[in-house]
Amino acid sequence: MTEKINEIIAVLKDRYPTAPCALHYSKDYELMIAVRLSAQCTDARVNLVTPGLFAAYPTLEAMASADISDVENHVRSCGFYKHKARDIVQACQMLLTDYGGKVPGTMEELLRLPGVGRKTANLLLGDLYGVPGSVVCDTHCIRICGRLGLSQGKDPEKVEQQLRAILPPEESSDFCHRIVLFGRDCCTARNPSCGQCPLTMYCKEFNP
């Protein structure tokens, strides 16, 4: 498995030399907000919404004191906007009251924040703090790693643990970002471009 995962990582690195987060942000709490908005919503849609939201509330203090109904209006097009608006304001309040105005750097602390689950926490740990072993287990990751035989099942936490066991810790965060890119332009959910795929030799669906 070690040789296989290293070869897959090398192919993805060659295809995507850089592995940036698809969400746009300039401050740590802005990434936290963007990830919350991305739940069951495309990153592209989130990137259209956040500039207006961040302009209306340009500081953490402003976001924490925002009227939730106004935040709802800003994020309505992201879906589940009532829950997301509430979580955003309450999480920003907790950053101020409990964490000195900074997004915390441990899984335990992050999971205390409203609306932050393991996927969000892993992304924040990997992108903000470079924590080794951060595995962002989204739908792309679950689908593609299952196809490649790197994981089994569709439970995000179980897949996360399976990948933690085989991914080099220093590669895990970038690997997940590259998997997202790969899932968008090649290994799509419904009509994967198998003819152009550089990983077909590892794919269980291509080689049943």
pLDDT digits (tens, 9 = 90+) for 2-23: 899 999 999 999 999 998 899 9
d(CA 50, CA 172): 27
Q: Is the pLDDT of residue 92 over 90?
A: yes
* Alpha-helical segments (H) within 78-171: 81-98, 107-110, 118-129, 139-147, 156-166
Amino acid 39: pLDDT: 92
Give catalytic status of residue 98 as yes or no. no
145, exposed or middle or buried, with CB in 10 Å at 0-12, 13-18, 19+?
buried
- Give the tens place of pLDDT for each residue, 36-81: 999 999 999 999 999 999 999 999 999 999 999 999 999 999 999 9
DSSP state of 73: H
Amino acid 207: pLDDT: 77
Report the chain's mean pLDDT, rounded to a whole number.
95
Spatial CA neighbour of 71 closest among 79, 82, 60, 58: 82
- The CATH code that applies to domain 28-129 is 1.10.340.30
d(CA 122, CA 124): 5
Domain boundaries, the chain: 2-19+133-202, 28-129
pLDDT band (50, 70, 90) for residue 29:
very high
Give the DSSP letter string of 96-123: HHHSTTS--SSHHHHTTSTT--HHHHHH
In this structure, the number of other CB atoms found within 10 A of the CB of residue 153 comes to 10
In this structure, the number of other CB atoms found within 10 A of the CB of residue 16 comes to 17
Give catalytic status of residue 204 as yes or no. no
d(CA 199, CA 101): 43
d(CA 77, CA 54): 15
Instruction: Enter the pTM of the model.
Output: 0.93
Catalytic residue among 138, 154, 185, 204: 138
Among 31-35, 139-143, 185-189, name the most confident range. Answer: 31-35
What is the CATH architecture of 2-19+133-202?
Orthogonal Bundle (1.10)
Catalytic residue among 28, 84, 87, 119: 119
Tokens 């970038």 locate to 174
Amino acid 195: pLDDT: 92
